Amino acid sequence: MWDYSEKLKDHFFNPRNVGTIDKPSGVGEVGSLACGDALKLFLKVGEDGRIEDARFQTFGCGSAIASASALTEMVKGKTVEEAAAISNQDIADFLGGIPPEKMHCSVMGREALESAIANYRGEAPPGAESKIVCKCFGVTEEEIRRTIQEENLQTVQEVTNYTKAGGGCGKCHDEIAALLWEVRGEKEQAEAAPEQGPSRLTNFKRIKLIEETIEREIRPGLVQDGGDIEIEDINGTNVTVALRGRCANCPSSDVTIAQYVQAKLRELVDPDITVQEAK
């Protein structure tokens, strides 16, 4: 049983601003009935650029209803620019918190708001041209990338909690994992200090850094997804590893080696490193 705050339960049992607006200034629609969650947000913007009214229609769980209700209360009286700065975490905080498994409801609220503001401005909805990764719930690559970055997500399950991606048939799990590794790698690279470059590495230091990087940066991510990794051999820039757990029998183990393990070691240790799986 999930632990819902009293404020969230109040907005579920007594939702505010349910309905439509006659001649709205902007309309945003996200999700679909086929996916299990759908939200349509209506905005009325005054001549001074402030949101005079906000209403919604939704199909979804209690957290989805509460999130939409909270959002309409939050945007009233704000300028369009102020409303655009509202994040899904702001919605969750307004409700006194949302269970991790239901955070996608607050994300859906933020996306509906962004879509309604884009409609008001005469622009295309954000991510309209982005590739769909999760076909079960219609979640795009841009949505997943952005949520990973903003929420500092670490596992496929966290991505599912925040976006619903991967919560259906599960066929997109490998692609979600690849996006996690890519986005996290880009972030770590941006934060890395210049003096971490490999040009001054001795062989001893390289081996030590490879071991530390696998233990600190690579192994935790695999363990969280039910896998593991062990170093079999290090010969100069050639690294041999063995995948364990779920990773050992995964049909995408080659992707794990090339796009995650090797890419991470090349990024943080030495760009000449090659990684192969022990046979």
For the chain, state the CA radius of gyration: 22
Cα–Cα distance between 198 and 81 in angstroms, integer?
Answer: 45
Residue from 105, 134, 172, 247 carrying the catalytic annotation: 105
CB 97 within 8 A of CB 5: yes
What per-residue string of b and e applies to 165-187 under the rule 16 or more CB within 10 Å gives b?
A: bbbbeeebbbbbbbbbbebbbee
Angle CA 133–266–213, to nearest 5? 95
With contact defined as beta carbons under 8 Å apart, do 214 and 229 qualify?
A: yes
Looking at the chain, list the stretches that DSSP marks H as alpha helix, in order from N- to C-terminal side: 6-13, 62-75, 80-84, 88-94, 103-121, 141-151, 156-163, 173-191, 203-213, 219-224, 253-255, 263-268
Q: Which of 35, 134, 136, 247 is catalytic?
A: 35
169 is catalytic: no
Phi, psi of 83 (to 5 degrees): -65, -35
The amino acid present at 207, given as its one-letter code, is: I
Q: Strand 238-245 vs strand 274-277: parallel, antiparallel, or unpaired?
A: parallel
For residue 250, what is the DSSP state? -
Which H/E stretch holds residue 276?
Answer: strand 274-277
Residue 61 annotated among the catalytic residues of the structure: no
Active site residues: 35, 105
